[in-house]
Every structure is written in C-alpha cells, then in structure tokens.
Amino acid sequence: MNNSSSKRFIYIIAGVLIVICLCMGSFVVGNVLATKGLIFTKANSKVENTFKEINDIGKYKELFEVRDALIKNYDGEVDDNVLLEGAIKGMTDSLKDPYTVYMNKKEYEKFNEQNSGEYMGIGVYVGVKNDKVTVISPVDGSPAAKAGLKSDDVIIAVNGQKVGSDVEKTTTLIGGKKKEEVTLTIERNGGKPFDVKVMRDVIKTQSVKGKMLDGNTGYIQITSFNAGVTDDLKKEIETLKSKGMKGLIIDLRGNPGGYLKEAVGVASQFIPKGKLITYTVDKYDNKAEEVSVGGIAEGMPLVVLVDNGSASASEVVTGALRDYKAATIVGTNTFGKGIVQAPVEFKDGGALKVTISKYYTPNGENIHHKGIKPDYEVQPSKEALSKPYNEKNDNQLKKAIEVLNSKINK
C-alpha cells in the first residue's frame, strides 16, 4: 500500500467533509439563480479549508479502510480521483435530495453553459417529480419542442443509460459540443416507454416577448427569468401602454425559473414599494426577505397564465401577485418547487449544489410539492396542444382574455 497516496486521500476526504459542513452552515445570501426548475442562492465563490485540525475523522475510518482494501485487492487499476468523486457523490446521494448534488469540473462547466442564454443542447428544462427526471418545459422553437417533448414527460434514459432521479447526469448526457442525435426514452402519462430522437443544436432564448391582442389588451410572454428580464418587461409595458393597453396578460406557462432578483423585479412592477415579495427560512431559522422595489404598472388589471411547467421563480412571482390580489391566475397547477440551493465552487473547478432553505409566499405558504392552484383552472384542449401552436386554439388564453376584459370593464 502506498502510504503517501493513502494520506493524500484522507486529507482530501477530510477537506471535502469540512467544506460540506461549512456549506450547510454559513452561506452568504446573494443573487438567486434558477434553472431546470431550481432556485439557487450564491454563496462565496471559493471555499477555503479554515480548520487547522480534524477532530472528528475517526467515524470515517471505515471509508479509508475500504479505500485501502480496494487498492490492495481490486484486480484492476484504481484511481484515487475516481474513488474520491464516487465518495463525494455517495455522500450527496445519501441525502435522498435530487437537488443536492456534486458536479465535477466538466459537469459544472456544462451547468454554467446552459445558464448562459446560448448553449449547445436540445432545449429542454428538467426537474424532479415523484423521484423521476421530468420535463418542466421545452424551449420554444427548440429541437426538443420540434421533437414533441411535453411538460410532465418522464425521461427514463438517455442514449440507453438509465437516469433515475439524477438531473445532472441527465443534462450531462443530453448536452455536448457537437450537433449529434440524442435518443431519449420517454414515459408519458404512465404509458409504455418510447424513444424520441432529438438533434442537438445551438439554443438561444429570448425571454420577453410582447404584443397587443386587441385594442386594449396587452400580452407579454416571459419564458425565463434571465438577467435583464425586468428591464425588458418595463420596455414592453411602456410600448404597449403607448398603443392603448388598458390591461395585461403575463404568460408564465413553461417558464422554469431564473434569477430571484429578476422575479422580484417583475413582481415589483405590480406590487407597491416595500411590500414583501418572498422570504426564505433555513434550518437555523434565519430569515431573509425580498421586498418590492416599486414599478410602473401598479393597479393595472392583470391576469397571469400558468401551467405545470411554471416553476421556482415563476412561482415566486405568481404567489406574490396572488397573495396581494394584484392578479387573477388562470391555467393549471404550477410545478411546485419551494426550496433553495446554493452552489459552492471548489478550486479544482467542481462545485457542490446543496439545498439550504425553503422559500415562502408573502402569506407564509411554502408551495414545495404542491404548486399554486389557479383562480380559474383551465386544462388545455387537444387543439391547444396540437403542433404547431395556433393562438386561435389556445383555450387558456381565451379564458385569460375573458377574465381580463371583465376586470377592465368594472
């Protein structure tokens, strides 16, 4: 047995254990980012080992004994780095929380690439429902959308590799640098699994799109809460006001989330300055509040469209507007993601993403695993779900227009 190698492994494992403990107890709340249906709060960008001594290493003795036994007895090559990554992922997997994961350098680079607004992939947001990787929504016009993937589709395997509830594994397998075909094994509505072939391409997203539906009805679709969405929304509102808008429909269907800062900014356009938008509470009962910064459309008749693809930051906005009765909600129940994760970067380029708190609507409701029930529940018709999308067949939008007109004409 190589003693120097063994000592190195012990020091690395010990350092990782300390970092995980630090992550669980001392995050600094900053901007919040969501993707694949998640909200993340940024901690310190780099984590340093601040302990001089390791006093509690004895309980991990068996871990090191197993490592040494593998080095001694395994009939094949053993790489300490591979063992280390496996040990780390074993620790996070043991928590049975699909949102708490370790990403190696390659996986973390892919994760950041997917959040950049332009990346190579198939254009699909995924999360976890009932311990399965589930489609939250395909990006409008993406290869995934063109291939017919739908919200609530369960991804069983990618290129024949089963993914279980592992979101990071799923996105890593789906992604790549080249325009190559990816085969997804899909289960839809509890039916028999089937394969869908999708060609990777460069995915670009435009988060805010607005137009007038008629003489006084404005419509703005927000597809994600990327950086700059609040400013884009304000520009669209001003443009539509200049065209005679008297009431507004905001469409959050299929919106998987984004920056908390942007969610607060969007909600602030309709909620008085200083009012609570959302708050988070961690395991130590530390509470952090996000309040309205004020906006340009307070008091405007408003309807919000949602569905089961509306997640995280979308639910922050929807929950706040609902609680203050600033909007009427139309559509179907939202995704139900009410917890916060913090990514912590390591010097080797990897990162730990760990659940650190729950978030609540202004009225104190945590919507995790429940979602938000709309004021008017409208299931999409078969015609509305047919491809390509035809606005004339959108029965949810028709209901939103009906509800908005009644508000305008009061």
Active site residues: 312, 323, 337
Q: How far is CA 122 from the centre of its chain?
A: 16
Q: Closest Cα to residue 91, out of 142, 20, 197?
A: 20
Q: Closest Cα to residue 240, out of 212, 270, 201, 273?
A: 212
SS3 letters across 145-184: HHCCCCCCCEEEEECCEECCCCHHHHHHHHCCCCCCEEEE
> Which backbone phi and psi does 75 adopt, to 5 degrees?
-85, 75
Cα(47)–Cα(25) distance, integer angstroms:
13
Cα(279)–Cα(270) distance, integer angstroms:
18
Neighbours of 160 (CB within 10 A): 9
Cα(356)–Cα(28) distance, integer angstroms:
11
Cα(261)–Cα(370) distance, integer angstroms:
23
What is the CA angle 5-71-79, rounded to 5? 65
Which SS3 state, helix, strand or coil, does residue 359 take? strand
**Pair of tokens at residue 390:** 């035809």
Cα(339)–Cα(312) distance, integer angstroms:
8
- Residue length, the chain? 410
**Pair of tokens at residue 51:** 């302990």
Strands 217-222 and 247-251: parallel
